[in-house]
């Protein structure tokens, strides 16, 4: 599955766009314009995404990659 397919599936499941996830991660202090905030571990982000949005591990890791700056 391509990175874009992961993002499309996440949006279909949650109704949230990649920009929504960037904004929510910033509000939680997980990320900012430069990527994932210092001291934040991927597990903290995946735990949040699994609990709040019901994402599986692979889809949660796609959001982590998005927050790190991956675009394709």
| pLDDT value of position 71 | 74
**Token pair in block for residue 69:** 């700056």
**Token pair in block for residue 52:** 């709040």
Question: What band does 67 get if pLDDT is binned at 50, 70 and 90?
Answer: very high
Please report, for the chain, the start and end positions of each structural domain, with discontinuous segments joined by +: 3-68
| pLDDT value of position 72 | 65
| pLDDT value of position 40 | 97
Answer whether 11's CB lies under 8 Å from 19's CB.
Answer: no
Q: Which residue has the higher pLDDT, 71 or 51?
A: 51
Query: Could you report the per-residue pLDDT of 14-64, keeping only the tens digit for each?
Result: 999 999 999 999 999 999 888 999 999 999 999 999 999 999 999 999 999
| pLDDT value of position 17 | 96
């Amino acid at each position: 599955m391509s990175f874009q397919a992961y993002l499309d599936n996440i949006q279909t499941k949650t109704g949230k766009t990649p920009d929504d996830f960037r904004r929510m991660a910033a509000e939680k202090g997980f990320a900012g314009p430069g990527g994932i905030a210092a001291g934040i571990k991927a597990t903290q982000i995946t735990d949040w995404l699994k609990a709040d949005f019901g994402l599986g591990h692979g889809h949660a890791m796609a959001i982590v990659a998005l927050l790190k700056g991956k675009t394709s």
